[in-house]
Amino acid sequence: MALGVGLTVMVMSISGVVTKSLERNGNVGYNLIIGSKGSSTQLVFNSVYYLSSPVENLKYSYFLEFLPGNGRQEQFAKLGGNLKDPERSGKYAMFTSNGFVIPMCLGDYVGRFRAVATTPDFFNLLKHGDRNEDPYTFREGRNFVEESPEHSFFEAVLGSEVAAEMELKIGDTIQASHGASGDFVHEQGFTVVGILDATGTPNDRAAFINMEGFYLLEDHAAPERDEESGLEKRVTKSDPSAPAEDSPAAMASARKRLPIDKREVTAILLRSDFAMGMQKQINKTPSAQAVSPIQEIASLLQMFIQPIQWALLTLTLLVCVVSAVSILVSIYNSMSERTRDIAVMRALGASRDTVLIVILFEACIIAIVGGAIGWVGGHALAAWASPLVEARTGVKLSFFSIHYPNELWIIPSLILTGILAGIIPALVAYRTDVSKSL
């Protein structure tokens, strides 16, 4: 019984941590993730959890449509390149005027961790925590900037886990690679200027690099495409027709930014008061989709996590049933030895009902004591694992992290188990013939 209840408490703790962790991470501070058409789950996995294979990219010009105010014109003025109607504002600009948009480019890795190319706004505007009120703070250093005199476009901020595992410190240089296997490592490095405090979010496990620098890495410029077929016309180093001054390395050394038409983004993180309406509109377009992270994470919970939780709970329930049977067998086997004791109690004036209740009470006590040991054991284990869980998920566990009201069900369940386990031995006691047993 102790094992059964201990497992139940552990399953509840794990479920609680998984659910809370997912919910915490779903509480991201933006309403929509916009990405290319495809799997919405994959888009959330990529953009929120930095998992799964990367999704297709969106044109940077599409991202500009979301910039509030005159952001689109300002970006054109700053970056240059080919852009239709550069004088107008973004089509969605009026909907994002009270919010923000943050671009994100994914695909590269730093060691085993995802490299997230973004803008400094990621840490300036986004918040985290249960109430999404905690700003991102730096254990060491500062946020990266778009362009700094000493490091040009090549600054990086590390999640706490990345810095700890890779033993990186401020001033070190990290190099992004294509894919987790690190087959191709970019020559151009990024200088670590900040290390984040642990947040208990997937951001602890990511390296954030300046998007301007990311674009200047080899093969990161958007491929030219044939207008009719849509096939890539990739310009490589060996291509003699490629103008040398436009190569990423040359641009980097000249501190030139990649023009708009050569840029792509993987995802756009958007906060707006009109997110619902925008989501519908965006999803009607042929190339992009908008996903609500909270909705998506809720459906993830429902689709994947909850069935697993139920499976685990069913398993622990079976352990409890086996424990109940073992209580039944042990009490039942002891009945033959205790027939005389029961007869003595009857001779001293105990009624049949009294002995029945005594045996049921005994079974309940065994179940409850076993359950209490299991409860204490389960919570002690949770408390023992607390530092590890907190470091990995940001969810704090303590001995008294009770999963109300689920754990309250343990008490009536134990009493019911005790009664069910004790009913047969109790009936045997009830039927004891005193005159034959004395």
Partner 1 sequence: MLLLKDVRKSYPQPTGGSVTILNVPKLEIRSGEQIVLRGDSGSGKTTLLQIISGITRADSGQVLFDGTDLTKLSESARDRFRAVKMGYVFQTFNLLPAFTALENVRLGMTFGRGKYRLDRAKSLLSQVGLDDRMHYRPSMLSVGQQQRVAVARALANQPRLLLADEPTANVDPGNQQKIIDLLKEVCGKESIALLMVTHSDSISQQFDRVEYLDQINTVLTSEARS
Whole-angstrom distance, CA of residue 213 vs CA of residue 155? 8
Closest distance to partner 1 from the beta carbon of 430 (Å): 11
Q: Which is nearer to partner 1, 195 or 366 (CB)?
A: 366
> Do 12 and 315 meet the contact criterion of CB atoms below 8 Å apart?
no
Place of tokens 């476009």: 153
Which residues bind to partner 1, rule: CB under 8 A?
Answer: 340-341, 343-354, 434-435, 438
Q: Which is nearer to partner 1, 339 or 417 (CB)?
A: 339
Q: Which is nearer to partner 1, 264 or 362 (CB)?
A: 362
Closest distance to partner 1 from the beta carbon of 370 (Å): 19
Whole-angstrom distance, CA of residue 428 vs CA of residue 138? 69
Q: Which is nearer to partner 1, 221 or 355 (CB)?
A: 355
Closest distance to partner 1 from the beta carbon of 350 (Å): 5
- CA-closest candidate to residue 48, choices 283, 280, 205, 278: 205
Whole-angstrom distance, CA of residue 351 vs CA of residue 434? 11
Whole-angstrom distance, CA of residue 21 vs CA of residue 12? 14
Would you tell me the crossing angle of helices 352-393 and 306-347 to the nearest 10 degrees?
150
Closest distance to partner 1 from the beta carbon of 310 (Å): 42
> Do 48 and 293 meet the contact criterion of CB atoms below 8 Å apart?
yes
Closest distance to partner 1 from the beta carbon of 340 (Å): 7
For the stretch 61-95, what's the b/e string if a residue is b when 16 or more beta carbons lie within 10 angstroms of its beta carbon? bbbbbbbbeebbbebbeebebebeebeebbebbeb
- CA-closest candidate to residue 23, choices 265, 226, 250, 201: 201
> Do 1 and 320 meet the contact criterion of CB atoms below 8 Å apart?
yes
Closest distance to partner 1 from the beta carbon of 363 (Å): 17
Closest distance to partner 1 from the beta carbon of 355 (Å): 10
Q: Which is nearer to partner 1, 274 or 430 (CB)?
A: 430
Non-local (6+) Cβ contacts of 199 within 8 A are 128, 129, 134, 136, 160, 394
Q: Which is nearer to partner 1, 227 or 353 (CB)?
A: 353
Helix (H) or strand (E) holding 12, with range, is helix 2-26
Closest distance to partner 1 from the beta carbon of 333 (Å): 16
Give me 36's structure tokens. 């290319």
**Backbone phi and psi for residue 195, each to the nearest 5 degrees, phi listed first:** -125, 125
Closest distance to partner 1 from the beta carbon of 328 (Å): 21
Whole-angstrom distance, CA of residue 156 vs CA of residue 90? 29
Q: Which is nearer to partner 1, 139 or 340 (CB)?
A: 340
Other beta carbons within 10 angstroms of residue 399's beta carbon come to 13
Q: Which is nearer to partner 1, 235 or 357 (CB)?
A: 357
Q: Which is nearer to partner 1, 170 or 350 (CB)?
A: 350
Give me 386's structure tokens. 């607390």
